[in-house]
Amino acid sequence: MSVLFAAAGPLEPAARSFLSPTGVEIVFLLVGVAVLGSALVAVTTKQLVHAALWLVVALGGLAVEFLLLTAEFIAWVQVLIYLGSVVVLVLFGLMLTKAPIGRSPDADSGNRWVALVVALAAAGTLVTLMVDAFRSAWIDLGAGGGSTQATGTSLFRHWVLPFEALSVLLLAALVGAVVLSRGGGRGTAPAPRAGRLRAGKPVGTPGRAVPPPQAGPDAGAPKPADPAPAASTTPPQER
């Protein structure tokens, strides 16, 4: 992708007018519109998994916006964390619970008008804040401004205390998740039996247990163990 941006030419700080935008600025706006559109579809679609996939488009678009602002490192972190992990986790959760193909009749929450008001208020606040803060300031996106080195330097020179505080917070969340998943200390879950699939029932036929002999591909697992005694008994016979 960055090949294309390199080909689009350097950012020119000379053209400082909102009325004659550069190519990069136009692309930035177009991608922004696409992000907004896919985000809107993500919250309004009636199909659960489609919502998650539109979220992929929105988050990927955000990564492109970071790239256009020359914040390369942040862009790849966005892709790695949000697309590669968070969305995959969301999809995983959806598939584990209920994700019918087609419309989900209960996809609409009764809170949606409240949610709309909150979203509009938050967006209004943020936009007002940004416009007020950077009214006509022009930030020169020179080469290397958002490089890994620049990001690392500012993170570990000037912002190291918030960074460490955040990592302690995340560690606490991690420990909390482990504690919660252990079932509140009521002992550990029974260990899975060796050599069998852990699925209790075959999918789609409720109530019928798996017949033990054909439990899975591992039913043949004892096979390698069988020749071993035979092999150990043969040498004495030969002697």
**Where on the chain is the footprint of other proteins (CB under 8 A)?**
1-4, 6-7, 47, 49-50, 53, 56, 72-73, 76-77, 79-80, 83-85, 87-89, 91-92, 95-96, 99, 101-102, 147-148, 192, 197-198, 203-204, 216-218
Looking at the Cβ atoms of 6 and 131, the one nearer to other proteins is: 6
Is the Cβ of residue 39 or residue 60 nearer to other proteins in the bound state?
60
Enumerate residues 6+ apart whose C-beta is below 8 A from 57.
34, 35, 38, 42
Residue placing its CB nearer to other proteins in the complex, 79 or 141: 79
Beta carbon of residue 104, minimum distance to other proteins (angstroms, whole number): 13
CB of 177 to other proteins, least distance (A): 14
CB 219 within 8 A of CB 213: yes
Least Cβ distance, residue 110 to other proteins (angstroms)? 27
User: Cβ 92 to other proteins, closest distance in Å?
Assistant: 4
Instruction: Encode the chain in three state secondary structure.
Output: CHHHHHHCCCCCCCCCCCCCCCHHHHHHHHHHHHHHHHHHHHHHCCCHHHHHHHHHHHHHHHHHHHHHCCCHHHHHHHHHHHHHHHHHHHHHHHHHCCCCCCCCCCCCCCCHHHHHHHHHHHHHHHHHHHHHHCCCCCCCCCCCCCCHHHHHHHHHHCCHHHHHHHHHHHHHHHHHHHHHHCCCCCCCCCCCCCCCCCCCCCCCCCCCCCCHHHCCHHHHCCHHHCHHHHHHHHHHHHC
CB of 12 to other proteins, least distance (A): 17
- Nearest approach in angstroms of CB 108 to other proteins is 20
Taking the least distance from each CB to other proteins, the nearer of 8 and 26 is 8
165 alpha carbon, distance to own chain's centre: 23
Judged by beta carbon, residue 105 or residue 236, the one nearer other proteins is 105
Of 217 and 229, CB closest to other proteins: 217
